[in-house]
Amino acid sequence: MYLLKGNIHSFEWGSTELLAGVMGRPSPTPEREAEAWFGAHPGGPSEILAGPSGAGSGLPHDLAEAISQDPAGQLGPDLAELPFLVKLLAADKALSIQAHPSKAQAEAGFAAENAAGLPAGDPTRNYQDKNHKPELLVALTEFHALAGFRPVAQTVELLRELDVPELAPQCEALAATLPGAEGSAARVTESAALREVLGEWLSLSPADAEGRVAALLQRCEPLRGEPGILGEAARTVVELQRDYPSDPGILVALLLNRVSLRPGEAVFLAAGQLHAYLKGMGVEVMANSNNVLRGGLTAKHMDVAELLNILDASPLAEPRCEVFADGDQATAEYRTPVADFRVRTLRPGASMVIEEPAVVLAAGGEVTVTSATQELPVASGSAVWVGAADGRVSVTARGEGARESEFDATAFIVTVGDAAALD
């Protein structure tokens, strides 16, 4: 087993307090810390702090190196690489609106960009690797997100209540897809209409985007206190305008579900589903990829044509992920329809035995991980890698130390998933 230090990534949407708080470090930090990565992705493999031979110079430098030196001992006979990545994510303002490709799309896109001679790390690359990126976000604090396209009937109702003339053509294009609309025999599908509206808004000139956002903002300012979807959408528009003035992503946000998560609740986003995390801290678990196609709220590279190509524009009525807890609520599992990862949690005082490769993350309290030959205490904000050769390992959530969230769970146990187990 190896004690891991998260690889911290600083982005302008990050926080000077949240990651430091859960890790017990002084705050505010000099930079905005957005993510701490626990895994073996080449963009930020986790540093190894201690292991079987102690914290001496004989240890591998990071988890990627440890796996490359002994793939069978670390991953077992059936895996060539670690299929998941675990992150602590802290957002003080919205991340870009984005979607991620399917496995087949990522493989094709990665090969095409390599053939075109785009170097690794080029800011115009869409595909940093050849993997898909389904992802689960479990809230540690109150967490807000835009997650998947809202059912079209609700969006049409919202746009009609907002009554912004500059957005009327897109509203009516969506309305034409609904049952009972004139010309319904020839109407396009909801997905096709959403794709078309998204493409129109993301292709606006800066001047046109500024004009439409200004008209929308004028309408939303007095509606922020309204109940229901109308007030929620108005507040979202005002918040996004503050951080991303006149960005076309503010228009796109009108198409998406606004989700407010209590600590312990989660959202799951499959390949192609449009989303943006807005504010809060959580544990994010995803397939081991960094492929992002952006759709607004960013100054980074946007490839609208490729985003539309990989997009799943089907409305998503319920983006929340179900949580399955045992009888005494000591353990819980967030079940997803992917085989890349399986996520379970332990409340303080609870234990679990695992017999497979895993990242065990402490979030809000201390965890102890014990094998036949080692015992590793894990402070909040750190993690342990359990290799295949470690055999039967016990994980105990102590619940001691700083608690920077209202979430009862202290330990996150992330292993490779089994989609067949969901049947």
Predicted pLDDT at 185: 43
| pLDDT tens digits, one per residue of 262-302 | 999 999 999 999 999 999 999 999 999 989 999 999 999 99
* More confident position, 187 or 338: 338
Task: Enter the pTM of the model.
Answer: 0.93
What is the token pair recorded at 395? 């994980």
Catalytic residues: 294
The residue with tokens 């992917």 is 338
What's the confidence (pLDDT) of residue 421? 38
Q: Which of 42-51, 190-199, 278-287 has the lowest mean pLDDT?
A: 42-51
Beta bridge mates, 248: none
399 — pLDDT class (breaks 50, 70, 90): low
CB 167 within 8 A of CB 251: yes
Q: What is the pLDDT of residue 15?
A: 97
> What is the model's pLDDT at position 419?
41
Looking at the chain, the domain(s) classified CATH 2.60.120.10 span 1-6+46-81+323-422
275 assigned binding-site residue: yes
pLDDT tens string 202-214: 999 999 999 999 9
User: Residue 255, SS3?
Assistant: helix
pLDDT, one tens digit per residue, over 295-330 is: 999 999 999 999 999 999 999 999 999 999 887 778
pLDDT at position 230, please? 96
Q: What is the mean pLDDT of the chain?
A: 92
pLDDT above 70 (res 176): yes
Average pLDDT score over residue span 187-193: 88
Domain 1-6+46-81+323-422, CATH number (from 3.40.47.10, 2.102.10.10, 2.30.30.30, 2.60.120.10): 2.60.120.10
End-to-end, the C-alpha distance of the chain in Å comes to 32
Antiparallel, parallel or unpaired: β 393-397 and 367-370: antiparallel
Helices (H) and strands (E) in the chain, counts: 11, 22
Rounded to whole angstroms, what are the CA distances from 381 to 38, 127, 203, 299, 313?
Answer: 10, 29, 41, 30, 36
Q: Does the annotation list 9 as a binding residue?
A: no
What the block records as the tokens of 224 is 């922020």
Domain with CATH 1.10.441 in the chain: 144-310
Residue 55 scores a pLDDT above 60: no
What tokens appear for 231 in the block? 């007030």
Does the domain formed by 144-310 have CATH 1.10.441?
yes
pLDDT digits over 73-118, tens only?
Answer: 999 999 999 999 999 999 999 999 999 999 999 999 999 999 999 9
* Residue 3: predicted pLDDT: 96
